[in-house]
Structure 1
C-alpha cells in the first residue's frame, strides 16, 4: 500500500485524502493537512514511484487510482479526496470508476484532458544534478540553477532530494517517471460519471483549466463547481496557501447536523 501520513482524529467531517502531483510527496502538503485536520482526519500519501512509496513499472491513472482505492478501503469509505495536478487526474479516475469510495472531490488545477507539454526536462535536470560531496540544500539549489531557472520550481524539486542518504539521492523513480511521461501528461479517456459534489479549483494565472474544458468536465462531473484563486499559478496551494485552504474548507464543509 502507498506510504501515507495520518494527521488528526475522527471529527464531524469525513476523513480527507490528499494526493500530490508529479515530483511531489506527502510532505509538500504537511502544513495544509495540519490546518485542515482541526475537525477531521487527514491522510496524505506518497504516490507510487514518489517519496517512500513502492517503485513500480507503471504510472498509469488506472494503476494510481487503484492505489488510492486501497488506501480508502483500508481507512474506511467514503472519504473526501483532494488531488493536485497528476494527483487530481488520479482522483478523477477513481471518482469515475469507483465513485462509491468518494464523497466530495477537489481537483486542483488540472482537467481530464491530455496536455501537450512534458516535464521530462525536469527529470533530466534532476538526473544531471551533481550529487557528489553535497551536504547543503543551498548548494544543491546553486547547482540545479544551471538547468532550472525558476527558483520556485527548484525549491519544489529539492524537497524530494534526500541529503541524509549516503550518497544523496532523489526520492523519485526518475527512470519510470520519464518513461511514463506521456501517460502522466495524458488522459486515458475514461468514461463514467461522478454525481457527487466536485470542485475544480484553479490558479488564475494558470492555463491548465481552460474555458473550453468545462463542457467535458461537466459531462463527467455534472455537479462540478469552478473557482479560481487570484494571483496563483499551477502550484496554487504553495503560492497562495491560505486562500487555497479557505476555498477547500468552504467546499468540504457540511452543516453541523449533516
Structure 2
C-alpha cells in the first residue's frame, strides 16, 4: 500500500430500507463521474442493503490532489470504510472506478466480500480522452452563464449529446454566477498516465468476482480475458446486450438485476 496521504472523500450514505444486517455495497464511479450519477441505482439497491457511493479525489465534491495512482485512490476508499465502521463490503466500480475497486480488492482482500467490475479490464489502455479534456477546458475558458451556452462550448470538441450531458454534470455555478468546473481537470490530466495504467497490487484477487461488459464496448475484449483471469481468477464474465461502455445507463434494468443476483448470493 502506498504511504501517500489520503483525502477525505465526499460520499452518499444510504441506509437500508429493509434488512439492516446485509452486507453494505460500496459504489465507485468512473472518470469524470461522481456519486450523483448513480442515484437511481442507489435507490434500488437501498431497498435491501446500505449503499455508500463515493466521489473519488478530483471528482464531485471531493478534494483535489496531484496523486491519481490506484493504490492511493483505493486507500482513500478504505479510509472511508474505516470512518464508517464498514469492515467488509461488496465493492462495485465502473471504468476507472473498476480499477480502483480491483486495486482495493488486491491490496485488502479481507475487506471485500465480492468484487463487481463494470466494463474495464486490469490492463493498460491507450490515450483516448483528448476530446473530453479539450471540451472541459473550453467550457472552463468560455465561462458559460447557462446550460445551453455550456453545451455549445462542449460541442466544439464532443459530438455526442449524451457525452456532453454527462460532462456537464461537472459544471456548477460559482460566485461569479458562471458555470465553472468542480472536477480537478488539471490534476486528472497530469495523472492520466496512471489512470490508463494497471491497477495496483501484485497478487491476484481470488474472491468472488463479476465482470459486466457491454456487447458494443471495446473496453473488455475477448483478447483481454487471459490477462483479466490472471488477476481475477474467479471472475464471471457477463456481457450485456445492446450496451456500450455506459452499460449501467444504457441497460439499467439488466445491470441492476445482474448486480443484485450476484451480491445476494455472497451476502454475509
Question: Partners of 2:252 and 2:206 in 1: how far apart?
Answer: 28
Question: Partners of 1:255 and 1:101 in 2: how far apart?
Answer: 13
- 1:61 equivalent to 2:61? Answer no
1:41 deviates by 0.3
- 1:129 equivalent to 2:136? Answer no
Question: Partners of 1:87 and 1:31 in 2: how far apart?
Answer: 18
Equivalenced residue count is: 257
Q: Could you list the per-position Cα deviations for residues 218-251 of structure 1 after superposition, in whole angstroms to 9, with x for gaps in the alignment? A: 2222211000111110011111111111111111
* TM-score (normalizing by structure 1): 0.94
83, 94, 98: which one pairs with 1:88?
Answer: 98
* SS of residue paired to 2:265: coil
- Aligned equivalent of 2:51: 42
177, 190, 193: which one pairs with 1:182?
Answer: 193
- 1:29 equivalent to 2:38? Answer yes
Given the superposition, is the C-alpha separation of residues 188 and 254 from structure 1 closer, same or farther in structure 2, using an over 3 Å criterion?
A: closer
Does the CA contact (< 8 Å) of 1:95 and 1:194 recur in 2?
yes
- 1:229 equivalent to 2:240? Answer yes
Given the superposition, is the C-alpha separation of residues 60 and 255 from structure 1 closer, same or farther in structure 2, using an over 3 Å criterion?
A: closer
- 1:240 equivalent to 2:251? Answer yes
1:96 deviates by 0.7
Does the CA contact (< 8 Å) of 2:119 and 2:245 recur in 1?
yes
- 1:51 equivalent to 2:51? Answer no
Q: Which moved more, 1:238-247 or 1:24-33?
A: 238-247
Q: Which moved more, 1:169-178 or 1:127-136?
A: 127-136
214, 228, 232: which one pairs with 1:203?
Answer: 214
Matches within 5 A, 1:143-154: 143-154=153-164
- Aligned equivalent of 1:3: 10
Question: Partners of 1:12 and 1:243 in 2: how far apart?
Answer: 26
Question: Partners of 2:27 and 2:240 in 1: how far apart?
Answer: 19
- Aligned equivalent of 1:74: 83
1:7 deviates by 1.1
Q: Could you list the per-position Cα deviations for residues 167-191 of structure 1 after superposition, in whole angstroms to 9, with x for gaps in the alignment? A: 3211111111111111111115632
The alignment yields a C-alpha RMSD, in angstroms, of 1.8
Does the CA contact (< 8 Å) of 1:120 and 1:178 recur in 2?
no
Q: Which moved more, 1:146-155 or 1:217-226?
A: 217-226
* TM-score (normalizing by structure 2): 0.90
1:138 deviates by 2.8
Q: Which moved more, 1:228-237 or 1:118-127?
A: 118-127
Does the CA contact (< 8 Å) of 2:94 and 2:120 recur in 1?
yes
- Aligned equivalent of 2:4: none
- Aligned equivalent of 1:104: 114
Question: Partners of 1:107 and 1:91 in 2: how far apart?
Answer: 7
Unaligned runs of 5+ in 1: none
